[in-house]
């Protein structure tokens, strides 16, 4: 399993555990998981770490660029000019897409438009569904 997939899975589970007891629309949770990162514009608050992550995950970065351009009709930030912002954009979408992947593997997917309470049971089901996540499932 790749390091970035493990990082994404761990991030999702940690954030869901932090959110337990609160209510959210299921369709919004994937993006809400990374709200704090989205506000900062940096995943690690370190341009060096962002550049290293881009370098280590170059193929995934390429897939993200294609995915972003296909969905939005524009290219994401240039990783050479704005490495932190590019990496942050990629991780936000990777977290959202990975959460959606896991959600589709659970019985909760039928409740897409419902407001649900995030419980330990919900978190555990997402955690179990994430066990099979691979890089090819992200973008």
Q: Where are the alpha helices (DSSP H) in the chain?
A: 3-19, 26-32, 35-40, 47-56, 58-72, 83-104, 120-130, 135-138
Q: What is the band of 1 on the pLDDT scale with cuts at 50, 70, 90?
A: low
At 68 the pLDDT is: 96
The per-residue pLDDT for range 14-69, each reduced to its tens digit, is 999 999 999 999 999 999 999 888 777 889 999 999 999 999 999 999 999 999 99
Tell me how far the alpha carbon of residue 117 is from its chain's centroid: 20
- CA dist 30 to 54, 56, 61, 83, 101, Å? 22, 24, 20, 23, 10
Q: What is the band of 72 on the pLDDT scale with cuts at 50, 70, 90?
A: very high
Domain count, the chain: 1
The mean pLDDT of 122-126, rounded to a whole number, is 97
The residues pairing with 115 across neighbouring beta strands, listed in sequence order, are 25
Lowest mean pLDDT among 3-7, 26-30, 37-41, 104-108: 37-41
At 37 the pLDDT is: 83
Residue 25 structure tokens: 């629309």
Query: Domain containing 59: what range?
Result: 3-138
The mean pLDDT of 111-133, rounded to a whole number, is 96
- CA dist 76 to 1, 25, 85, 99, 128, Å? 26, 27, 9, 21, 31
Distance CA 42, CA 89 (A): 8
At 40 the pLDDT is: 77
9 has a pLDDT exceeding 90: yes
Average pLDDT, the chain: 94
Selection from 98, 93, 96 nearest residue 9 by Cα: 98
Residue 121 structure tokens: 């049971």
Selection from 95, 34, 93 nearest residue 64 by Cα: 93
Q: Say if pTM beats, i.e. exceeds, 0.75.
A: yes
At 41 the pLDDT is: 81
């Amino acid at each position: 399993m790749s390091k970035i997939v493990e990082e994404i899975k761990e991030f999702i589970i940690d954030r869901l555990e932090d959110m337990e007891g609160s209510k959210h629309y299921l369709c919004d949770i994937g993006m809400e998981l990374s709200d704090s990162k989205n506000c900062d514009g940096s995943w690690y608050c370190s341009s060096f770490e962002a550049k290293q992550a881009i370098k280590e995950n170059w193929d995934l970065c390429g897939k993200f660029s294609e995915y972003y351009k296909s969905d939005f009709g524009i290219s994401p930030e240039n990783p050479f000019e704005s490495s932190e912002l590019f990496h942050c954009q990629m991780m936000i979408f990777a977290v959202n897409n990975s959460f959606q992947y896991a959600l589709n593997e659970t019985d909760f997917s039928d409740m897409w438009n419902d407001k649900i309470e995030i419980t330990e049971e919900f978190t555990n089901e997402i955690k179990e569904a994430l066990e099979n996540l691979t890089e090819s499932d992200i973008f």
